């Protein structure tokens, strides 16, 4: 991996990068329309491809939270034209690493010893990059370890980054400023939490202990004496990231096993723990050919408030959906409609969101579900694209949807697209989790 | 009494009083040594102050040059390590250094000559010159007519930049200084390795000869 020669830090410098992206994107549109004049057949996908590349380049140079937002955007695949999401999906894997001396310096400062003193062997060049840090291999007492090291100054730059990314995100996702403010506040809170490695360490141990009984899930052991506020040391997990894993053509049975483990993992968290690993991007899972999957990176945990939980999942119960009054109350509670809306607006948004919910919660209502069914996903994506292009949505002065739904939706979208890529056919019955917990 | 002890006592005096001793006489009295003993080691308080900065530098270099990993590093990594360890060394003396903050900060970038840093500067030049030579042989640094001689000076400005940044850094464990070092060193190496600088010079020459 080529080491990044320079990370722009000051706000002006970062802004400069975005300006040049904006400029490039503008030029791409120009090019596109010129070409279109000559050849009316030309596809818009080309344009999206070029834009995506330029924006991705800019974001990956910024690292830190900008990269995180790129990940978020790539998460909600349906909200983006295909070219954007594929390009962004790359940001989930690699960002250029920081220098060896800085790594050593971080060890000395936070653990008082050099890596050479702490480990039998330590690989000074990073194995891969996480969005706010990088991962190194090391060996101690015959065990292979993974060590996550945070970039210095990350927490400081979160706010600045988000402020700069906001207008871009608005344009990419096609959301109004009011909506964005509400959601960016939520994103900022989560991102700041992610820079807190002490918190992450505590959560990692806690959640992996609680989920340990779920079949086919593998969690690393964490080492407190080798971890600090900038460093987290855990067992190295073998396995492959989704894309490489699929290249080996694993059998349907193996893919089902992994898919089932992931589904159980998320159902258990959402319904029992009421807090969830809200970062289900492929980089956080390592899959093996025996049908097990390694899970790590608990930096992003969304705690689900009780009233939100109750309202959100009521919408999946057919009985409640039949009662119009009750339904309306739930929409109000979830901020999908507002007390000030006209009856026309209420009717319009209600049917819009209910259709969305019906679509996305379909697997919950079945005993088993085949996530390999591409038609299902096409339907979701095209419906989402339809919604995001609606004039009424774009012009809406009110934010629609609670801030909590942001990470919950993101979690489910992430999970769904993982399952879709796995083409997993799994048991989605509600009682599955109860059966597993033996209650 | 040796140099080290006098330096320590001198720093301590500053820490307790926030100012220089009134005279060598009072300082010696406090240390319970004779004036000639003092003058055998140092000719003046200025000499001590200069030597203190040289001492920070030497301590840093001693520490890194004995390190096995350091020997295997590229030139860029060596310089990074130097700064990281230097700043660590300075941290132990931060209170003393902050008492001199004003005089250290008020110098312009183009006039990098706080007197008190003079001895340190000479030693730093020497250290960096060796690094640059090593860089030539490993092709990490490009040798250029006229400009090459200025590299040393450039790194000195960089060292002063790091020092100033650290002096005003309020972040936890001075982590922003770490980031600043990383960025500053990477930028400087980008400039002296790649063609950026050559293109710039070439462009300048072009503009100049065209007229």
Q: What is the mean pLDDT of residues A100-123?
A: 91
Lowest mean pLDDT among A115-129, A160-174, A316-330, B106-120: A160-174
Q: Do B17 and B84 belong to one domain?
A: no
pLDDT band at A299 (very low <50, low <70, confident <90, very high): confident
B183 and A110 within 8 Å at the Cβ level: the answer is: no
Q: Do B37 and B58 belong to one domain?
A: no
DSSP symbols for A48-62: HHHHHHHHHHHHHHH
Bridge partners, A302 (sequence order): A276
First to last CA, chain B: 66
pLDDT at A72: 54
Shortest distance between the Cα of A101 and any Cα of chain B, in A, equals 5
pLDDT band at A18 (very low <50, low <70, confident <90, very high): very low
pLDDT at A83 over 50: no
Q: Do B198 and B118 belong to one domain?
A: yes
Which residue on chain A is closest to B81 by alpha carbon?
A101
Interface test with A, best of B86, B183, B188 (most A CBs within 10 A): B183
Q: Please choose, from the candidates A436, A363, A438, the residue with its C-alpha nearest in 3D space to the C-alpha of residue A217.
A: A436
A102 and B186 within 8 Å at the Cβ level: the answer is: no
Q: Do B23 and B122 belong to one domain?
A: no
Q: Where are the domains of chain A?
A: 11-92+157-168, 240-439
Task: Give the Cβ contact number of residue A336 at 10 Å.
Answer: 26
Question: Using a CB-CB distance cutoff of 8 angstroms, which residues of chain A are in contact with residue B188?
Answer: none
| Run of H or E residues at A232 | strand A231-235
Which is more confidently placed, A240 or A183?
A240
Q: Considering CB atoms only, which of A102, A109, A114 is closest to B80?
A: A102
Shortest distance between the Cα of B18 and any Cα of chain A, in A, equals 29
B88 and A108 within 8 Å at the Cβ level: the answer is: yes
Q: What are phi and psi of A291, to 5 degrees?
A: 85, 15
Domain tally, chain B: 2
pTM: 0.73
pLDDT at A76: 44
pLDDT at B24: 94
Summarize pLDDT for A149-176 with one digit per residue, the tens.
988 877 776 767 677 666 666 665 555 6
Shortest distance between the Cα of A134 and any Cα of chain B, in A, equals 15
Give the Cα separation of A107 and B88 in Å (integer). Answer: 13
Q: Do B25 and B100 belong to one domain?
A: no
Interface test with A, best of B80, B84, B182, B189 (most A CBs within 10 A): B182
Q: What is the mean pLDDT of residues B37-66?
A: 93
Percent residues over pLDDT 90 in chain A: 27
Percent residues over pLDDT 90 in chain B: 53
Mean pLDDT of the residues in chain A? 76
DSSP symbols for A124-165: SS-SEEETTEEEEEEEETTEEEEEEEEPTTHHHHHHHHHHHH
Mean pLDDT of the residues in chain B? 87
B171 and A153 within 8 Å at the Cβ level: the answer is: yes
pLDDT at A6: 44
Give the Cα separation of B125 and A318 in Å (integer). Answer: 78
Which residue on chain A is closest to B82 by alpha carbon?
A101
Q: Considering CB atoms only, which of B69, B80, B175 is closest to A152?
A: B175
pLDDT at A13: 46
Q: Do B80 and B25 belong to one domain?
A: no
Rounded to two decimals, the ipTM of the complex is 0.74
Q: Do B183 and B102 belong to one domain?
A: yes
pLDDT at A85 over 60: no
B84 and A152 within 8 Å at the Cβ level: the answer is: no
DSSP symbols for B70-130: HHHS-HHHHHHHHHHHHHHHHHHTHHHHHHTHHHHHSS-TT----GGGHHHHHHHHHHHHH
Q: What are phi and psi of A139, to 5 degrees?
A: -130, 140
Which residue on chain B is closest to A4 by alpha carbon?
B186
Shortest distance between the Cα of A110 and any Cα of chain B, in A, equals 9
Which residue on chain B is closest to A105 by alpha carbon?
B84
Summarize pLDDT for A387-421 with one digit per residue, the tens.
766 767 656 656 677 778 777 877 887 888 889 99
Q: Do B122 and B28 belong to one domain?
A: no
Q: Considering CB atoms only, which of A100, A110, A153 is closest to B179?
A: A153
Q: Do B37 and B54 belong to one domain?
A: no
Q: Considering CB atoms only, which of B175, B189, B190 is closest to A153?
A: B175
Summarize pLDDT for A345-376 with one digit per residue, the tens.
888 888 887 887 788 888 888 899 999 988 98
Q: Please choose, from the candidates B74, B82, B94, the residue with its C-alpha nearest in 3D space to the C-alpha of residue B126.
A: B82
pLDDT band at A11 (very low <50, low <70, confident <90, very high): very low
Residue A150 contacts B where some CB pair is shorter than 8 Å: no
Which is more confidently placed, B141 or A94?
B141
Residue A126 contacts B where some CB pair is shorter than 8 Å: no
| Cβ pairs bridging A and B (under 8 Å) | 65
Q: Do B156 and B65 belong to one domain?
A: yes
Phi-psi region of A338 (alpha: psi -120 to 50; beta: other; left: phi over 0): beta
B183 and A9 within 8 Å at the Cβ level: the answer is: yes
Q: Do B57 and B18 belong to one domain?
A: no
What CATH number should be reported for the domain holding residue B72?
Answer: 1.10.357
pLDDT band at B195 (very low <50, low <70, confident <90, very high): low
Which is more confidently placed, A403 or B62?
B62
pLDDT at B107: 61
Which is more confidently placed, B183 or A162?
B183
pLDDT at A279: 76
Which is more confidently placed, A128 or B159?
B159
Residue A106 contacts B where some CB pair is shorter than 8 Å: yes
Domain that residue B32 falls in: 3-41
Q: Do B165 and B201 belong to one domain?
A: yes
Task: Give the Cβ contact number of residue A272 at 10 Å.
Answer: 15
Interface test with A, best of B87, B179, B191, B194 (most A CBs within 10 A): B179
B178 and A102 within 8 Å at the Cβ level: the answer is: yes
Any residues with CB less than 8 A from the CB of A242 and at least 6 apart, and which? Answer: A282, A285, A287, A418, A421, A422
């Amino acid at each position: 991996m080529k080491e990044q020669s320079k990370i722009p830090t000051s706000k002006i410098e970062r802004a400069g990068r975005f300006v040049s992206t904006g400029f490039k994107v503008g030029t791409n549109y120009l090019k596109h329309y010129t070409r279109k004049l000559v050849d009316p057949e030309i596809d818009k996908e080309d344009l999206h491809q070029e834009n995506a590349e330029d924006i991705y380049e800019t974001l990956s140079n910024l690292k830190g939270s900008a990269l995180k937002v790129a990940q978020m955007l790539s998460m909600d695949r349906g909200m983006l034209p295909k070219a954007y999401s594929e390009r962004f999906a790359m940001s989930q894997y690699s960002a250029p690493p920081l220098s060896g001396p800085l790594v050593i310096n971080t060890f000395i400062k936070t653990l008082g010893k050099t890596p050479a003193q702490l480990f039998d062997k330590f690989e000074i060049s990073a194995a891969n990059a996480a969005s706010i840090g990088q991962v190194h291999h090391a060996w101690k007492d015959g065990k292979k370890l993974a060590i996550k090291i945070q970039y210095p100054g990350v927490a400081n730059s979160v706010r600045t980054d988000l402020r700069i990314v906001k207008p871009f995100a608005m344009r990419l996702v096609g959301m109004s400023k009011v909506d964005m403010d509400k959601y960016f506040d939520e994103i900022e809170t989560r991102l700041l939490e992610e820079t807190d490695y002490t918190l992450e360490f505590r959560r990692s141990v806690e959640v992996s202990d609680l989920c340990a009984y779920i079949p086919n899930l593998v969690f690393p052991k964490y080492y407190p004496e080798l971890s600090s506020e900038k460093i987290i040391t855990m067992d190295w997990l073998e396995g492959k990231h989704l894309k490489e894993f699929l290249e080996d053509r694993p059998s349907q049975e193996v893919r089902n096993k992994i898919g089932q483990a992931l589904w159980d993992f998320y159902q258990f968290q959402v319904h029992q723990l009421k807090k969830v690993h809200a970062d289900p991007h492929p980089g956080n899972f390592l899959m093996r050919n025996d049908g097990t999957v390694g899970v790590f990176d608990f930096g992003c945990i969304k705690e689900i408030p009780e009233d939100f939980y109750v309202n959100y999942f009521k919408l999946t119960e057919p009985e409640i959906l039949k009662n119009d009054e009750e339904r309306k109350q739930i929409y109000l509670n979830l901020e999908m409609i507002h007390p000030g809306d006209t009856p026309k607006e209420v009717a319009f948004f209600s049917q819009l969101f209910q259709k969305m919910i019906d679509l996305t919660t379909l697997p919950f209502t079945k005993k088993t579900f085949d996530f390999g069914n591409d038609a299902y996903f096409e339907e979701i994506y095209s419906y989402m694209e339809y919604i995001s292009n609606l004039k009424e949505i774009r012009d809406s002065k009110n934010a629609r949807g609670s801030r909590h739904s942001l990470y919950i939706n993101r979690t489910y979208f992430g999970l769904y697209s993982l399952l879709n890529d796995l083409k997993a056919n799994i048991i989605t019955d509600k009682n599955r989790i109860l059966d597993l917990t033996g209650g | 009494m040796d140099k080290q002890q006098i330096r320590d006592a001198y720093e301590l005096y500053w820490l307790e009083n926030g100012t220089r001793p009134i005279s060598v006489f009072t300082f010696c009295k406090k240390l319970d040594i004779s004036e000639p003993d003092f003058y055998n080691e140092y000719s003046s308080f200025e000499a001590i102050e200069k030597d203190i900065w040289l001492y920070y530098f030497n301590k840093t270099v001693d520490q890194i040059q004995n390190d096995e990993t350091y020997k295997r590093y590229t030139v860029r990594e060596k310089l990074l390590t130097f700064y990281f360890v230097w700043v660590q060394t300075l941290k132990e003396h931060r209170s003393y250094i902050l008492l001199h903050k004003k005089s250290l900060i008020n110098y312009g970038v183009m006039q990098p000559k706080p007197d008190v840093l003079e001895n340190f500067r000479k030693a730093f030049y020497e250290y960096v010159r060796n690094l640059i030579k090593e860089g030539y042989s490993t092709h990490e640094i490009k040798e250029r007519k006229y400009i090459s001689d200025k590299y040393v000076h450039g790194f000195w400005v960089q060292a002063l930049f790091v020092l100033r940044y650290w002096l005003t850094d309020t972040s936890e464990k001075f982590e922003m200084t770490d980031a600043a070092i990383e960025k500053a060193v990477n930028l400087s190496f980008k400039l002296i390795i790649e063609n950026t600088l050559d293109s710039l010079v070439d462009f300048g020459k072009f503009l100049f000869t065209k007229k």
